[in-house]
Amino acid sequence: MAHDDSTPGFFTASLEDVAGLFRKGSMWPVTFGLACCAIEMMATASSRFDVARFGMEVFRASPRQADLMIVAGRVSQKMAPVVRQVYDQMAEPKWVLSMGVCASSGGMFNNYAIVQGVDHIVPVDIYLPGCPPRPEMLINAMLELHKQVQEQPLFGNRRAIIEKVERAALDATPVSQMKGLLA
């Protein structure tokens, strides 16, 4: 919010500033834990770490009510179409946080059964390293995402950027997997 010198004592804010404030203060993550990182994600919602102070206390079970997907843990090839389906069912604008080294790059599981990074399936906004990352690290990543959300233009070209990233991810995915993702 900028201070306007022509009217002393009053603050002015643009529509984008206000919308960014509302967006960052009302993010609801979708429940999507796949492996051991999910335990740390659940601990973040406990009273000790209290993610509710950031407006994120409600982990939604329905993707239609969520705007943040936290992919916590390794993503198997069989689970990849489900991750994509949940992402597609989320309302716009939506964001993705990749939690843990397995979700970000496949981790130590460099084999045919594990997707080598969730960014091959959905566009990722924040990568959180660690095996498993602590709840404090997840809160820090959420705060970084809040900064990105607040600075994002209201009527920007986010959809065009996401479509470009999604197309690159689909181009990098083997043909056998694309049948499941595009169906």
Q: Domain 26-142+157-182 class? A: alpha beta
Please check if 141 is assigned to a binding site: no
pLDDT digits (tens, 9 = 90+) for 103-115: 888 888 888 889 9
Q: Tell me the C-alpha distance between 69 and 140, whole Å.
A: 16
Please check if 36 is assigned to a binding site: yes
pLDDT attached to residue 181:
52
pLDDT attached to residue 55:
74
Write out the DSSP string of 109-126: --STTB-S-GGGTS--SE
Confidence grade of residue 80 (pLDDT, cut at 50, 70, 90)? very high
pLDDT digits (tens, 9 = 90+) for 151-169: 777 666 666 666 776 777 6
pLDDT attached to residue 127:
93
> Is residue 98 pLDDT above 90, yes or no?
yes
Please check if 54 is assigned to a binding site: no
> What is the mean pLDDT of the segment spanning 44-48?
82
User: What are the domain boundaries of the chain?
Assistant: 26-142+157-182
Please check if 102 is assigned to a binding site: yes
